[in-house]
Amino acid sequence: MLTELLIFFSVATALTALLVLVPGFVRVRAFVSLPLAIISLAAAGYTAAALTNDWTTATILPVGTLGAIVLVRVAVLRRWSILATQLQTTFVLAGLAFIAYAVMQTIAFAFNPVWMFFSAVLLFFEVMALLLAASYAFEMLDVMGRRHQPPESAEVDPEEAAAEGAGYTPLVAIQVPAYNEPVEVVQVTLESLARIDYPNYIVQVVDNNTEDPNVWRPLEQLCQQLGPKFQFMHLEDWPGFKAGALNEATKRLPAEVEILAIVDADYVVEPGFLKATVPPFADPNIAFVQSPQNYRDWDDSKYLRGLYYSYR
């Protein structure tokens, strides 16, 4: 029985993934996606039956799985399309079938305690990998497979926020963490921060654990050249990596600072960065705003081109 389950859900997941990858298919309406779902489940059932010669089970599995998909869609994933729900459901069920199959195999071939121990360790990492893959699948499908946009209360319209937050100019501290960053890289970032069109902000450059003074001293001098808005801090032998350094830097900020902005050392921000992101904070229900990330010098590297288009 476990073999039939494993084959069926694996094939169903693969076929559904192929459908989802067809441009536009993931969000098609139910009168199109439901027949596609039924066909893919029937094909998975036929494959499982052909490989195991168990036609009864292979007939029941597609019907039961379709019922489970509809139940999950109605009870949990109401904003998702049918195909997105099917892919997440069959992926999770395939993972559960694999875990059950792996447990049975581990027990069946437990020749001695040492074998059993290492088999259990391997099984643990397999379960962790499946959980991680399931979470990644959920995150992607939650974006790709939504039939409707999130509620308006969960969105921020930049123009509307700017209108409502007109005249709201709290003191903002832009924190720039750096570790072993060449001054040539950070200079482009800091110069873009110096051009920000906003009346009330400071820039806090936080260098942590850079051992060579020839690396961090020029950065300190650059901050001095850029003017009083720019503050430099060097932390020696500091725990907690970037997060630890930023936590300490936050403690040393003026009490008047109301908003923190984090900008990585190799980023370049547009002059309207703060004018676009600060107004939403005038609403007491808004506590966190994130802008799209972008890359510079990406077009000469396949890897960076992939990251660029992924973030975009």
- Tens of pLDDT, residue by residue over 183-196, are 998 999 999 999 99
Higher pLDDT, 227 or 106: 227
pLDDT at 4 over 50: yes
Residue 202 backbone phi and psi in degrees, to 5? -130, 160
Distances (CA, A) of 4 to 40, 60, 280: 16, 11, 53
pLDDT at 277 over 80: yes
Q: What is the pLDDT at residue 147?
A: 67
Q: Which of 21-35, 122-136, 154-168, 177-191 has the lowest mean pLDDT?
A: 154-168
Residue from 29, 125, 26 nearest 85 by CA: 26
Token reading at 106:
């581990």
Q: What is the pLDDT at residue 216?
A: 92
How far is Cα 87 from Cα 67, in angstroms, rounded to an integer?
14
List beta partners, residue 208.
Answer: 235
pTM, full prediction: 0.56
- Work out the average pLDDT over 52-63: 85
pLDDT at 59 over 60: yes
- The pLDDT > 70 percentage for the chain reads 93
pLDDT at 53 over 60: yes
- The pLDDT > 90 percentage for the chain reads 51
Q: What is the pLDDT at residue 154?
A: 47
Q: What is the pLDDT at residue 248?
A: 94
Q: What is the pLDDT at residue 152?
A: 47
Higher pLDDT, 49 or 162: 49
Q: What is the pLDDT at residue 91?
A: 94
Q: What is the pLDDT at residue 223?
A: 94
Residue from 70, 21, 68, 13 nearest 43 by CA: 13
pLDDT tens digits along 111-139: 788 888 888 888 899 999 999 999 999 98
pLDDT tens digits along 229-239: 999 999 988 99
Arithmetic mean of pLDDT over the chain:
87
